[in-house]
Amino acid sequence: MTPTITAFERSPDRGKGLARDMRVRWALEEVGQPYDVRLLSFSEMKEPAHRALHPFGQIPTYEEGDLALFESGAIVFHIAERHAGLLPDDANAQARAITWMFAALNTVEPPIVDREIATLVECDKTWYEQRLLVVEDRIRDRLGELSSRLGDANWLDGKFSAGDLLMVAVLRMLNGSGMLDEYPNLSAYVARGEARPAFKRAFDAQLAVFTGKPPAG
Ligand SMILES: N[C@@H](CCC(=O)N[C@@H](CS)C(=O)NCC(=O)O)C(=O)O
Protein backbone atom coordinates (compact mmCIF):
# COMPACT_ATOMS: atom_id res chain seq x y z
CA MET A 1 0.00 0.00 0.00
CA THR A 2 1.36 3.42 -0.95
CA PRO A 3 1.65 5.68 2.11
CA THR A 4 0.64 9.33 2.02
CA ILE A 5 2.62 11.98 3.84
CA THR A 6 1.82 15.62 4.43
CA ALA A 7 4.09 18.56 3.63
CA PHE A 8 3.98 22.36 3.38
CA GLU A 9 2.24 23.76 0.33
CA ARG A 10 4.57 26.77 0.65
CA SER A 11 7.67 25.82 2.58
CA PRO A 12 9.05 28.68 4.72
CA ASP A 13 12.58 27.42 3.96
CA ARG A 14 11.94 27.93 0.22
CA GLY A 15 12.81 24.32 -0.57
CA LYS A 16 16.12 24.02 1.30
CA GLY A 17 15.14 20.60 2.59
CA LEU A 18 14.73 21.66 6.20
CA ALA A 19 11.00 21.07 6.72
CA ARG A 20 10.59 17.80 8.55
CA ASP A 21 8.77 15.96 5.78
CA MET A 22 12.31 15.79 4.31
CA ARG A 23 13.29 13.17 6.93
CA VAL A 24 10.32 11.03 6.00
CA ARG A 25 10.86 11.44 2.26
CA TRP A 26 14.53 10.52 2.72
CA ALA A 27 13.69 7.38 4.73
CA LEU A 28 11.13 6.29 2.13
CA GLU A 29 13.64 6.87 -0.65
CA GLU A 30 16.34 4.89 1.21
CA VAL A 31 14.08 1.83 1.42
CA GLY A 32 12.65 2.25 -2.09
CA GLN A 33 9.05 2.78 -0.96
CA PRO A 34 7.02 5.06 -3.28
CA TYR A 35 4.75 7.56 -1.54
CA ASP A 36 2.10 10.18 -2.17
CA VAL A 37 2.21 13.69 -0.76
CA ARG A 38 -0.72 15.82 0.36
CA LEU A 39 0.23 19.48 0.49
CA LEU A 40 -1.26 21.69 3.17
CA SER A 41 -1.56 25.43 3.65
CA PHE A 42 -0.86 26.84 7.13
CA SER A 43 -4.58 27.27 7.77
CA GLU A 44 -5.40 23.71 6.63
CA MET A 45 -2.80 22.40 9.11
CA LYS A 46 -4.82 23.88 11.97
CA GLU A 47 -8.22 22.59 10.81
CA PRO A 48 -9.97 19.67 12.57
CA ALA A 49 -9.45 17.30 9.63
CA HIS A 50 -5.67 17.61 9.91
CA ARG A 51 -5.68 17.79 13.72
CA ALA A 52 -7.38 14.39 13.72
CA LEU A 53 -4.11 13.12 12.21
CA HIS A 54 -1.74 15.47 14.02
CA PRO A 55 -2.88 16.80 17.42
CA PHE A 56 -0.43 19.71 17.23
CA GLY A 57 -1.49 20.81 13.74
CA GLN A 58 1.91 20.29 12.14
CA ILE A 59 3.56 18.39 9.32
CA PRO A 60 4.66 15.70 8.62
CA THR A 61 2.02 13.01 9.03
CA TYR A 62 2.03 9.52 7.57
CA GLU A 63 -1.02 7.48 6.55
CA GLU A 64 -0.91 3.89 5.44
CA GLY A 65 -4.25 2.09 5.35
CA ASP A 66 -5.73 2.29 8.86
CA LEU A 67 -2.50 3.58 10.36
CA ALA A 68 -1.97 7.30 10.90
CA LEU A 69 1.25 8.58 12.48
CA PHE A 70 2.76 11.94 13.37
CA GLU A 71 6.24 12.95 14.66
CA SER A 72 9.02 12.63 12.10
CA GLY A 73 11.08 10.38 14.40
CA ALA A 74 8.22 7.93 14.96
CA ILE A 75 7.50 7.86 11.23
CA VAL A 76 11.15 7.21 10.31
CA PHE A 77 11.27 4.48 12.96
CA HIS A 78 8.13 2.86 11.53
CA ILE A 79 9.59 2.92 8.03
CA ALA A 80 12.89 1.50 9.31
CA GLU A 81 11.11 -1.30 11.17
CA ARG A 82 8.93 -2.32 8.22
CA HIS A 83 11.59 -2.23 5.49
CA ALA A 84 15.14 -3.45 5.16
CA GLY A 85 17.95 -0.93 4.86
CA LEU A 86 17.73 1.53 7.74
CA LEU A 87 18.36 -0.66 10.79
CA PRO A 88 21.00 -3.38 11.23
CA ASP A 89 19.87 -7.01 11.56
CA ASP A 90 21.93 -7.67 14.68
CA ALA A 91 19.71 -6.94 17.71
CA ASN A 92 22.34 -5.01 19.69
CA ALA A 93 23.44 -2.99 16.67
CA GLN A 94 19.77 -2.23 16.03
CA ALA A 95 19.29 -1.01 19.61
CA ARG A 96 22.34 1.25 19.21
CA ALA A 97 21.01 2.69 15.93
CA ILE A 98 17.70 3.45 17.68
CA THR A 99 19.68 5.11 20.48
CA TRP A 100 21.22 7.44 17.89
CA MET A 101 17.75 8.25 16.57
CA PHE A 102 16.74 9.37 20.05
CA ALA A 103 20.04 11.20 20.55
CA ALA A 104 19.46 13.17 17.35
CA LEU A 105 15.94 14.21 18.35
CA ASN A 106 16.23 14.48 22.14
CA THR A 107 19.78 15.65 22.73
CA VAL A 108 21.08 17.41 19.61
CA GLU A 109 17.93 18.91 18.08
CA PRO A 110 16.54 20.86 21.11
CA PRO A 111 19.26 23.55 21.33
CA ILE A 112 19.24 23.84 17.52
CA VAL A 113 15.48 24.45 17.61
CA ASP A 114 16.04 27.02 20.38
CA ARG A 115 18.42 28.85 18.05
CA GLU A 116 15.85 28.73 15.24
CA ILE A 117 13.19 30.18 17.55
CA ALA A 118 15.59 32.86 18.79
CA THR A 119 16.54 34.01 15.28
CA LEU A 120 12.99 33.88 13.91
CA VAL A 121 10.81 34.97 16.82
CA GLU A 122 12.97 36.62 19.47
CA CYS A 123 15.26 38.74 17.30
CA ASP A 124 13.48 42.00 18.20
CA LYS A 125 13.95 41.50 21.96
CA THR A 126 16.49 43.56 23.92
CA TRP A 127 18.04 40.34 25.28
CA TYR A 128 18.28 38.63 21.88
CA GLU A 129 22.07 38.90 21.41
CA GLN A 130 22.75 37.56 24.91
CA ARG A 131 20.32 34.70 24.48
CA LEU A 132 21.79 33.77 21.11
CA LEU A 133 25.28 33.50 22.64
CA VAL A 134 24.00 31.19 25.38
CA VAL A 135 22.05 29.00 22.95
CA GLU A 136 24.99 28.79 20.53
CA ASP A 137 27.29 27.75 23.38
CA ARG A 138 24.88 24.91 24.19
CA ILE A 139 24.88 23.85 20.54
CA ARG A 140 28.71 23.96 20.47
CA ASP A 141 28.84 21.70 23.52
CA ARG A 142 26.75 19.11 21.69
CA LEU A 143 28.61 19.49 18.40
CA GLY A 144 31.97 19.10 20.14
CA GLU A 145 30.81 15.94 21.88
CA LEU A 146 29.31 14.50 18.71
CA SER A 147 32.43 15.38 16.75
CA SER A 148 34.62 13.56 19.31
CA ARG A 149 32.45 10.46 19.13
CA LEU A 150 32.28 10.40 15.33
CA GLY A 151 36.04 10.86 14.96
CA ASP A 152 37.07 9.84 11.45
CA ALA A 153 34.28 7.27 11.01
CA ASN A 154 31.87 7.61 8.11
CA TRP A 155 28.74 6.95 10.20
CA LEU A 156 27.89 6.90 13.90
CA ASP A 157 27.89 3.14 14.41
CA GLY A 158 29.07 1.02 11.51
CA LYS A 159 26.86 1.22 8.43
CA PHE A 160 24.52 4.10 7.60
CA SER A 161 21.31 3.77 9.65
CA ALA A 162 18.14 5.64 10.58
CA GLY A 163 20.25 7.13 13.40
CA ASP A 164 22.52 8.80 10.83
CA LEU A 165 19.54 9.86 8.73
CA LEU A 166 18.00 11.75 11.65
CA MET A 167 21.34 13.10 12.90
CA VAL A 168 22.26 14.48 9.47
CA ALA A 169 18.75 15.95 9.08
CA VAL A 170 19.07 17.67 12.48
CA LEU A 171 22.59 19.00 11.80
CA ARG A 172 21.42 20.41 8.46
CA MET A 173 19.23 22.82 10.43
CA LEU A 174 22.51 24.65 11.14
CA ASN A 175 23.19 25.23 7.43
CA GLY A 176 23.92 28.89 6.90
CA SER A 177 24.88 29.47 10.56
CA GLY A 178 28.58 28.68 9.96
CA MET A 179 28.60 26.63 13.16
CA LEU A 180 29.14 23.28 11.46
CA ASP A 181 32.28 24.61 9.74
CA GLU A 182 33.94 24.67 13.17
CA TYR A 183 33.79 20.84 13.17
CA PRO A 184 35.22 19.59 9.86
CA ASN A 185 34.34 15.94 10.56
CA LEU A 186 30.70 16.91 11.17
CA SER A 187 30.58 19.01 7.98
CA ALA A 188 31.98 16.03 6.08
CA TYR A 189 29.44 13.74 7.78
CA VAL A 190 26.55 15.95 6.68
CA ALA A 191 28.01 16.16 3.16
CA ARG A 192 28.19 12.32 3.06
CA GLY A 193 24.52 12.14 4.00
CA GLU A 194 23.57 14.75 1.40
CA ALA A 195 25.53 12.85 -1.26
CA ARG A 196 23.36 9.75 -0.88
CA PRO A 197 21.16 9.23 -3.96
CA ALA A 198 18.09 8.75 -1.72
CA PHE A 199 18.75 12.12 -0.04
CA LYS A 200 19.04 13.82 -3.41
CA ARG A 201 15.76 12.33 -4.66
CA ALA A 202 13.98 13.42 -1.48
CA PHE A 203 15.52 16.90 -1.65
CA ASP A 204 14.58 17.36 -5.29
CA ALA A 205 11.01 16.23 -4.63
CA GLN A 206 10.65 18.70 -1.76
CA LEU A 207 12.25 21.51 -3.78
CA ALA A 208 9.89 20.79 -6.68
CA VAL A 209 6.94 21.69 -4.44
CA PHE A 210 8.48 25.10 -3.92
CA THR A 211 9.57 25.76 -7.51
CA GLY A 212 6.45 24.21 -9.05
CA LYS A 213 8.72 22.35 -11.49
CA PRO A 214 8.92 18.53 -11.49
CA PRO A 215 12.20 17.07 -10.15
CA ALA A 216 14.88 16.61 -12.84
CA GLY A 217 15.57 13.06 -14.00
N1 LIG B 1 8.59 17.14 16.62
C2 LIG B 1 7.85 17.28 15.40
C3 LIG B 1 7.99 18.72 14.94
C4 LIG B 1 7.10 19.00 13.74
C5 LIG B 1 7.27 20.43 13.27
O6 LIG B 1 7.83 21.32 13.96
N7 LIG B 1 6.79 20.70 12.05
C8 LIG B 1 6.90 22.01 11.49
C9 LIG B 1 7.43 21.92 10.07
S10 LIG B 1 9.09 21.35 10.05
C11 LIG B 1 5.50 22.62 11.39
O12 LIG B 1 4.56 21.96 11.04
N13 LIG B 1 5.43 23.92 11.68
C14 LIG B 1 4.21 24.66 11.58
C15 LIG B 1 3.55 24.86 12.91
O16 LIG B 1 4.04 24.36 13.93
O17 LIG B 1 2.51 25.54 12.91
C18 LIG B 1 8.38 16.30 14.33
O19 LIG B 1 9.58 15.97 14.39
O20 LIG B 1 7.62 15.87 13.45
Quote the pTM value: 0.97
Distance from the alpha carbon of residue 79 to the mean position of ligand 1, in angstroms: 19
| C-alpha distance from residue 153 to each of 33, 104, 145, 157, 185 (Å) | 28, 17, 14, 8, 9
Res 119: pLDDT: 93
Q: Which protein residue's CA is at the shortest distance from atom 3 of ligand 1? A: 71
Average confidence (pLDDT) over 41-67: 98
Average confidence (pLDDT) over 97-106: 98
Average confidence (pLDDT) over 83-87: 98
High-pLDDT (> 90) share of the chain, %: 95
pLDDT exceeds 70 at position 4: yes
pLDDT exceeds 90 at position 11: no
Mean pLDDT, rounded, of the chain: 97
Res 215: pLDDT: 82
Ligand 1: lining residues by beta carbon, under 6 Å: 19-20, 45, 57-59, 71-73
Res 214: pLDDT: 82
Res 216: pLDDT: 74
Cross-strand partners of 68: 63
Q: Which atom of ligand 1 is nearest to the CA of 58?
A: 12
Res 217: pLDDT: 66
High-pLDDT (> 70) share of the chain, %: 100
Average confidence (pLDDT) over 111-139: 95
Res 45: pLDDT: 98
Q: What is the DSSP letter of 216?
A: P
Average confidence (pLDDT) over 76-89: 98
Q: What angle do CA 6, 10, 16 make, to 5 degrees?
A: 90
Q: What angle do CA 75, 195, 139 make, to 5 degrees?
A: 65
